[in-house]
């Protein structure tokens, strides 16, 4: 698995060919949290098989039929901050920093690592879940009906900019880097961000 050394934008899921042997590079919204782990922390609770916090939105209260009382729909992600595709890294860092600060306040210096090991099921993880940013829903194949088409555009865009990419070699819905070392290219972060906005940001 590629070692991430700095926090980065949430990304569509990207694999390397090594992933064909079962090593998955999680790069969408968990990237932001996984990177915190690489920098000395852990990830918050994830709820969709590798992508930290999907793009769920808060449900509005529904009117009760008995006595005219309102009954709120339970949503565990209600009130959580939502990352947008067009956010800058500074904007995303501010959201993440608020969650990290809460985790350390509630659980001490080892809270992030403990939270990662226990998959978010810690007192600090539960207390701070409302501050854990949600990834853009466009990057979740379960929430984006255009996801497959967007991935094709993403691959075309990356290839046009000299970063060799291909469909998921495992046959999944994601995309892959032909050469994982391309992540170290000076222009890689900007290239991926620009292509992601082009591919996934055109359906609003």
User: pLDDT at position 37, please?
Assistant: 41
- Contact criterion met (CB below 8 Å) for 58 and 82: no
Ordered strands of the 14-16 beta sheet = 14-16, 175-177, 165-167
Give the chain's count of helices (H) and strands (E).
6, 5
User: pLDDT at position 33, please?
Assistant: 41
User: pLDDT at position 11, please?
Assistant: 58
Structure tokens at 46: 């994830």
Is pTM beyond 0.85? Reply is no
User: pLDDT at position 10, please?
Assistant: 60
DSSP 82: B
- Contact criterion met (CB below 8 Å) for 33 and 52: yes
Angle between helices 30-38 and 89-107 (to 10 degrees): 60
Q: Evaluate the CA torsion angle 137, 139, 143, 146 in order and state its sign.
A: positive
For the chain, what is the largest distance between any 2 Cα atoms, rounded to a whole number of angstroms? 64
Q: How many CB atoms lie within 10 A of CB 126?
A: 13
DSSP 172: S
- Ranges of residues in the chain whose predicted pLDDT is under 50: 1-8, 17-71
């Amino acid at each position: 698995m590629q070692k991430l050394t700095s926090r980065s934008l949430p990304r569509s899921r990207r694999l390397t060919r090594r992933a064909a042997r079962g090593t998955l590079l999680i790069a969408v919204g968990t990237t932001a949290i996984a990177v915190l782990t690489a920098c000395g922390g852990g990830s918050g609770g994830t709820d969709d098989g590798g992508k930290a916090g999907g793009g769920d939105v808060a449900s509005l209260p529904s009117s009760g039929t008995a006595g005219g009382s309102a009954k709120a729909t339970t949503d565990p992600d209600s009130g959580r901050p939502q990352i947008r595709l067009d956010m800058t890294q500074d904007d995303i860092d501010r959201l993440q920093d608020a969650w990290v600060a809460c985790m350390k306040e509630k659980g001490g210096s080892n809270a992030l690592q403990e939270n990662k090991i226990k998959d978010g099921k810690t007192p600090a993880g539960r207390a701070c879940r409302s501050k854990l940013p949600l990834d853009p829903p466009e990057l979740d194949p379960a929430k984006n009906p255009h996801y497959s088409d967007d991935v094709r555009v993403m691959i075309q865009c990356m290839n046009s900019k000299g970063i060799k990419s291909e469909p998921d070699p495992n046959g999944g819905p994601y995309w892959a880097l032909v050469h994982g070392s391309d992540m170290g290219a000076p222009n890689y972060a900007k290239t991926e961000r620009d292509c992601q906005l082009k591919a996934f940001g055109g359906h609003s």
